Structure 1
């Protein structure tokens, strides 16, 4: 099935684009050390970054990630997903190849490249909206959303290979390896993907019909209709989706930025073992997302709206419960190491159920404009969770003690519970009026309306 090949290549490409961004943090331990002379081989150079330089290095990640979201959405509306993703992913590969010489020769040049790299990675959720709207059959939208939201694959990839490559071949080789992988997958994706399935040379007539059934393919991906910004931002169901971004990004931010630090310091685990432990909840999270996507599509005796409410509550409230357990019984006791790992894994992976809630609701409610809703979703998460978290969390846990981290988990639990409560009140599973193409009939909405 060509659509599954497209789905696989798309999540690989999106994950590798994010891996290109997190490649530096996971390579950072190999970079740190005494500064060497210019005569030293590139792989032997080490750096002593000042506090200001460290802030610039890690802060630049969020700068591009937030600033470029809306412009990328506009670019994709005008030039379509295939052209924009092919060009930007190629740029991402080039940046990775330039990184070793850039960071070792002129620090400001690498900051510029890092902002550009984070801007390129900001298209993750936007692409999800485009691909689901164009390539997912109506009865597989939940599965497509679940797969395309599994960006933790990027962390699994980088954490698995970065240490091995840096240790055996030197830290520059890790950037070259990531650049090579991005380049190869970009080439494969550009060959297979098309912006309109009706124009795809490899698709059978049966699969074209399966994908396009019940859709207005002429209006897919907003080819003709301008985005109704005013109507979107005044829609309660969309506002609820955007508020739920706070809960989604709270856990994602922890998983990507602080999970290894927490396991190592708060749970008293050696660094090498901490890296392996962190892979467990991330792998479990991806598996939960895939299962949720399949269940969300296959269960027919529950209305679409109730499925969305159930999965989002299971993801948000479930995660909040396990975080509260950690708050009440902080980790760090060597005798309870196994139990601590189990609870930590459950707390991280339960949020995977939300792929059948918030993410799927976005596609059902916004339809052809889901890419814009996803773009704002991502921007809100970065602005109100990513940037503040980068500043606040080090202050709340300066020594990374179990007690300090338990207080942070309490804040996470409150954010998750509060954002889910609002989502439950205003969630919808049917297209809003502004999302239905003008040449579609009213029966389309009536068929999918669960209220």
Structure 2
């Protein structure tokens, strides 16, 4: 999100075309009469670059170029050797590379793209491997809330960047977006290594009561991992395919909103850049809160034996998909009302966040032994969805400016509901037979 919010300040749209990485400086405006106009635009107190739209698209997309190769190996290695160092290393590498983005930008577009590719791989190491920690730390009755609290961090991060990043670009310059948030990431990495442990048994600060509670609650669950994987059994597993299809369909709409909410608010609602950033942040902060509340509610229903686990997973997924799809499909018909449009965007984010306590956490239920590998596999499906959906959205918008958004949301709803139907038919919450026993099928 750093580069997404900074790139409008990095690009000189008015300069004559020169070399792809040529930098310019915008002359300062000291006139009191132009003060209000200056506040409405990003101040360039740092170099600006004459990047064409095609180059900008490549730079923004480069984060995912190597990501397709990383999830499965990261999850598999984390399951074998432990996730602590893999997650910590990924966080540290990504944060350090963030600090060097301004220097890489000055050196050339090619170096910036290479840096972003490596950064994308490092970030996948973090998001994939952390599931291998939760499978050893999260008691079954508290699993939904713990995982959703952790996963809400990505939504909170998006909210903070959108809220603060534009202001930083406007006041002290776009390089400080990377310096400040890269420094925050490095600080988090330094805290991670001494405070986080792969399992409660080896944690030096945990109380005896808490350690015994976690160990006993997981005693009936086989979480051990080895080099063997039941590959053929996984391929034939319809419950697993139900989860993978859910990842693809649910992240289709998610990636569109991540990429296009600022654009939608700026073009449809005619908001300026500063207000667009603030309004774009609202769905993310509400979504992060609802992710946590959804996890708490799911665990409450399970602990009180109000609903069965599979019923909870399917109910939360159905509510999240159906209501978020309906709200998004309705957006083109309420675009004349700014308040209604923002309310629909916020509510859509709130409902879709319930899927985090539904199908998106279901892997922990059906195959805890292979959760690292399967988390990586599911992330491949979400990354594929994220690579396709913004491109399709751009095609729709370029072909039909009047009905483009309507077609985008209708297609998203169709894909989302199709994935939901598949999951409702084949989804399960019991540990699968192929995840209970040691096998000799080598991967």
CA distance in 2, matches of 1:174, 1:84: 26
Q: Does 1:421 align with 2:388?
A: no
CA distance in 2, matches of 1:49, 1:173: 20
TM-score between the two structures when normalised by the length of structure 1: 0.85
Cα displacement string for residues 342-372 of structure 1 (whole angstroms, at most 9, x for unaligned residues): 1222122210111121123211111121222
CA distance in 2, matches of 1:65, 1:153: 22
Residues 24 and 49, structure 2, Cα contact 8 Å, conserved in 1 = no
The farther-off stretch of 45-54 and 283-292 is 45-54
CA distance in 2, matches of 1:183, 1:348: 29
Aligned partner of 2:50 in structure 1 is 48
Residue of structure 1 aligned with 2:4, choices 5, 18, 25: 25
Residue of structure 2 aligned with 1:176, choices 163, 174, 179: 179
CA distance in 2, matches of 1:192, 1:401: 52
C-alpha change, 1:284 and 1:227, in structure 2 (3 Å) is same
CA distance in 2, matches of 1:409, 1:298: 33
TM-score between the two structures when normalised by the length of structure 2: 0.87
Tell me the secondary structure at the aligned position of residue 49 of structure 2.
Answer: coil
Aligned partner of 2:411 in structure 1 is 411
Residues 247 and 360, structure 2, Cα contact 8 Å, conserved in 1 = no
What is the RMSD computed on CA atoms of the aligned residues? 2.3
Residues 145 and 359, structure 1, Cα contact 8 Å, conserved in 2 = no
CA distance in 2, matches of 1:274, 1:402: 21
Q: Report matched runs for 1:222-371 at 5 Å.
A: 222=225, 224=226, 226-299=228-301, 300-327=305-332, 329-331=333-335, 333=336, 336-371=337-372
Cα displacement string for residues 150-198 of structure 1 (whole angstroms, at most 9, x for unaligned residues): 2212211211221222223222111111111011001111111111210
CA distance in 2, matches of 1:163, 1:340: 22
C-alpha change, 1:52 and 1:275, in structure 2 (3 Å) is closer
Consecutive unaligned residues in structure 2, runs of 5 or more:
16-21, 28-43, 439-443
Deviation at 1:127, TM superposition (A): 2.7
Cα displacement string for residues 52-79 of structure 1 (whole angstroms, at most 9, x for unaligned residues): 4223202212212222222222332343
Residues 162 and 280, structure 2, Cα contact 8 Å, conserved in 1 = no
CA distance in 2, matches of 1:210, 1:368: 20
Aligned partner of 1:158 in structure 2 is 161
Consecutive unaligned residues in structure 1, runs of 5 or more:
1-21, 439-451
C-alpha change, 1:313 and 1:409, in structure 2 (3 Å) is same
* Count of aligned pairs between the two proteins: 410
Deviation at 1:219, TM superposition (A): 6.0
CA distance in 2, matches of 1:356, 1:52: 38
Deviation at 1:216, TM superposition (A): 4.4
Deviation at 1:407, TM superposition (A): 1.2
Aligned partner of 2:200 in structure 1 is 197
Aligned partner of 1:103 in structure 2 is 105
